[in-house]
Structure 1
Amino acid sequence: MGPLPRTLELFYDVLSPYSWLAFEVLCRYKNIWNVSLQLRPTLIAGIMKDSGNQPPALLPRKALYVKNDVRLLGQHLQVPIRLPKDFFFVIFEKGSLTAMRFLTVVKLEHPELLEKVSRELWMRIWSRDEDITEPQSILAAAEKAGMSTGQARELLERVSTPQVKNQLKETTEAACKYGTSIDVQPSTAAQ
């Protein structure tokens, strides 16, 4: 009997192409690497706000880099990733709030389907340039992942409940806390 698997938490938002690439690599190799992968749907907008960071697409040089980097990483990792045609509208206007709330409900009620539903939402936005904000779009992704129509509709009806909103908020806050847990001591060498 080998060592127990290490737990690895992946905080992710389907709005992030880098999250998708990390997700696919971790899902692909979790057994080889002996990792217990814990998927944690999170809002990237909340993390950006908390950290004071700007999305790379808002900075011209980073935007050019990301466009090429995502394409090359997708090829290398064999993930069918392509930027949406109206990138800024999809990312900054439409966002992913409803999709991430839906994934939060999936995690609460049917965690065994979370990986597949997450992947289908990423495929919609980052591979096929399809919507992930409208109810019919989310239902289509859930059904393609193996969820029954009735089951998916029932979960979709819960995305605006306080329980789901609070859970997504708590998970996002937990992700933000990881960034503040590093104990950095000021350097005395320059004094």
Structure 2
Amino acid sequence: MMRLLQLRTMASAAGTKKIEFFYDIFSPYTWFAFEVLMRYKKHWNIDLELKPFLLAAVAKEAGNTAPMLVPNKAFYMGKDLVRCAKYFKVPLKMVENPHELVLVKGSIIPNRFLIATDLLYPQYLEPLSRALWMEVWNKDEDFTQIEILSRAGLTCGMNQEELSRVLEHMTHQETKDRLKAHSKQALEYRAFGSPSIVAHVGGKPMLFFGSDRFPVLAQEIGEKWLGPDPDDPEPKL
């Protein structure tokens, strides 16, 4: 009986598909993709790795332009994000000044906060990512400010000592190097934006961009797509 259980465990592990999720909380569409993958962790046989990266660096190296800097795209996004938020069941709200977010604030500070957290307390990376998205894309707060970072850290469950260690570790070279490494790795996969989802099947990486490629991703990894919320009794396929 024990041998049978071991064989089943080995078979299950062998069939597990590795998925790397390269993301920047700077991106509102990435929040949708993030929540979908979090919901599917218990439904798909996947090993999910969260990898914060710097979207500005990746986009620049890839020759990409921020959608909000293209007038027609910016106009489209203002309406499309509202529709997508409803579809994906994510409490996103439009920020008052998206151009300031893109051109002035940037995301290097919150991304270093995420990286430092992952290095010291990886168990908080998922809830902290969500908490930071809530701060900027729900409450329209400045996530480059220590006060906002601290609130997100406490919201995700950190105690004061853990929070202090993370804030201090943000300035360490290890944190900066890890963020650069994630960005470089995404570029090696030919990424150009966020989210960049890399699925490894049969030893080969496959890149999927955006929050609307899940039916195709499911097809390629041999899993079933049940809509944006697989636990919904009436799924939206």
Instruction: Return the TM-score normalized by structure 2.
Output: 0.74
Structure 2 equivalent of residue 141 of structure 1? 152
Structure 2 equivalent of residue 22 of structure 1? 33
In the TM superposition, what is the alpha-carbon distance from 1:163 to its structure 2 partner? Answer: 0.9
RMSD: 1.5
Structure 2 equivalent of residue 61 of structure 1? 72
In the TM superposition, what is the alpha-carbon distance from 1:91 to its structure 2 partner? Answer: 2.3
Structure 2 equivalent of residue 3 of structure 1? 12
Taking the aligned partners of 2:167 and 2:190, their CA distance within structure 1 comes to 31
Letter in 2 for 1:3: S
Taking the aligned partners of 2:12 and 2:75, their CA distance within structure 1 comes to 43
Structure 2 equivalent of residue 76 of structure 1? 87
Structure 2 equivalent of residue 42 of structure 1? 53
SS at match of 1:38: strand
SS at match of 2:12: coil
Shifted more, 65-74 versus 110-119: the winner is: 65-74
2:163 counterpart of 1:152: yes
Within the candidate set 24, 31, 52, 2:63 is matched to: 52
Taking the aligned partners of 2:71 and 2:128, their CA distance within structure 1 comes to 32
Structure 2 equivalent of residue 186 of structure 1? none
In the TM superposition, what is the alpha-carbon distance from 1:35 to its structure 2 partner? Answer: 1.6
Taking the aligned partners of 1:126 and 1:164, their CA distance within structure 2 comes to 25
Within the candidate set 126, 134, 138, 1:123 is matched to: 134
Taking the aligned partners of 2:83 and 2:44, their CA distance within structure 1 comes to 24
Structure 1 segments unaligned to the other structure (5+ residues): 183-191
Taking the aligned partners of 1:91 and 1:54, their CA distance within structure 2 comes to 11
SS at match of 2:92: coil
In the TM superposition, what is the alpha-carbon distance from 1:162 to its structure 2 partner? Answer: 1.0
Letter in 2 for 1:87: P
| Greater RCO (CA < 8 Å, at least 6 residues apart) | 2
Note the alpha carbon deviations across 1:122-179, whole angstroms, 9 max, x for none. Answer: 0000011112101111011000000012211111111111111111001101011111
Structure 2 equivalent of residue 179 of structure 1? 190
Give the paired residue count.
Answer: 182
Shifted more, 173-182 versus 62-71: the winner is: 173-182
Letter in 2 for 1:122: W
Please say if residues 139 and 149 of structure 1, whose CA atoms lie closer than 8 Å, have aligned partners that are also in contact. no
Letter in 2 for 1:115: E
2:121 counterpart of 1:110: yes
Structure 2 segments unaligned to the other structure (5+ residues): 1-7, 192-204, 207-237
Taking the aligned partners of 1:91 and 1:57, their CA distance within structure 2 comes to 8
Taking the aligned partners of 2:78 and 2:95, their CA distance within structure 1 comes to 11
In the TM superposition, what is the alpha-carbon distance from 1:3 to its structure 2 partner? Answer: 3.2
Determine what percentage of the aligned residue pairs are the same residue. 36
- Matches of residues 79-94 of structure 1 in structure 2 within 5 Å? 79-94=90-105
